[in-house]
Structure 1
Amino acid sequence: MSLTPDVLWAQRPDAVYLTIDLKEVQDIKVNLDSEKMSFYGKVGGSLYEFSLDFFAPIAKEESKWSTKRLIEFYLKKETEGSWTSLSKVKKLPWVKVDWKRWQDSDDEDEGKQNAWNLDGLGDMNFGDMGADAEYDSDDEELPDLDPAEVPLGAAGDAPQQGATGGEPKKVAETDTLD
């Protein structure tokens, strides 16, 4: 019985990047058509294979693949645009998003440097937030409670004015759950 490898995918408007997450694969057989692909390979004593129908056609002649470390594919889309999934079959548990290569439609300008370039985070120094840090309004001291106000739970035997304005009435103590 064969196993199904994890397949990672990412896309750009003009291409799909696909990685078969297997190392040291032997006896590799790949069948790549414009509408679908199939894969067969052995790792150790285990046989791995899968077949999938692409979400949309690819330009087979312009697509490439490599087996240097992992098995990686550059699949040129026949028509530019965004695919909602890699395959026409929506739920393939072995197909996962390759977040390292993913590019959203907001990031499509290849000539511009990515605004969220994480390589530059090493220049940020959060340790200098000492005495020179900006004043935060949440750091203000809170005013004392008005002495006429009695905090909840502290009323105990404190007299309060009756509803009719007459003599003070005694507030009943209540049991509290601790």
Structure 2
Amino acid sequence: MSKLPDCKWAQRNDKILFTINIPNLDPNKTTINVTETSFTFKSEDHELSLDFFGTVDPKQSSWKVGARDVAFVFMRKEVGDYWDTLHKGKKIHTLKVDWDKWKDEDEARDGDLDMSGFDKFDFGGAGAGGFDSDDEDEDDGRK
């Protein structure tokens, strides 16, 4: 019996970033099918089917098999607001948000955060003053 793979997703207004965590995946024993509205993945031990929340462009989408995972970039059919969720249907307990790749919708529109108005983080030693090193030879009366 096939089991659900551990997977993560993130999004931008123009694409969906999706990762299936399966180490040592044999691409020759794996089937991947992407349509405008759905995605299916089947390997020797794992199987996953999704009905996308929106539409993607299968011809512009891509994937890469790595040593530990399969990384997908699903290009959205239309650039626009973020999807509420990755897929329609009941919750998949092995599907998580990829916070390392996630970018908030307002940040995606604004580009990189402008740090030019911020002061340098120079705390002037935070009031610690000069330290007396214990490694220095001092005449403290001990021999």
TM-score between both structures, scaled by the size of structure 1 = 0.61
Bigger RCO of structures 1 and 2 (CA < 8 A, at least 6 apart):
2
Residues 1:77 and 2:79 are matched in the alignment? no
**How far apart in 2 are the matches of 1:128 and 1:89?**
55
Shift of the 124–6 alpha-carbon distance from structure 1 to 2, 3 Å rule, reads farther
Larger Rg over CA atoms: 1
The letter for the 2-side match of 1:29 is T
Identity across matched positions, percent: 32
SS of equivalent residue, structure 1 residue 61: coil
Structure 2 length normalisation: TM-score? 0.75
The alignment yields a C-alpha RMSD, in angstroms, of: 2.3
Deviation at 1:131, TM superposition (A): 4.8
Report the alpha carbon displacement of residue 85 of structure 1 after superposing the two structures with TM: 0.5
Deviation at 1:105, TM superposition (A): 1.2
Match of 1:28 among 13, 18, 30: 30
List runs of 5+ in structure 1 lacking aligned partners. Answer: 117-122, 133-178
Please tell me the residue identity of whatever aligns with 2:58: K
Residue of structure 2 in register with 1:129 after alignment? 126
1:160 counterpart residue number: none
Greater Cα offset, 11-20 or 26-35: 26-35
**Which residue in 1 is equivalent to 2:141?**
none
Once the two structures are TM-superposed, the CA of residue 113 in structure 1 deviates from its matched residue by: 3.0
What is the match of residue 139 of structure 2?
none
Any runs of at least 4 consecutive aligned residues in structure 1 with deviations exceeding 4 A, and if so which?
123-127
Separation of aligned partners in 2, 1:127 and 1:50: 55
Distance of 1:127 and 1:86 partners within structure 2? 47
Unaligned runs of 5+ in 2: 130-143
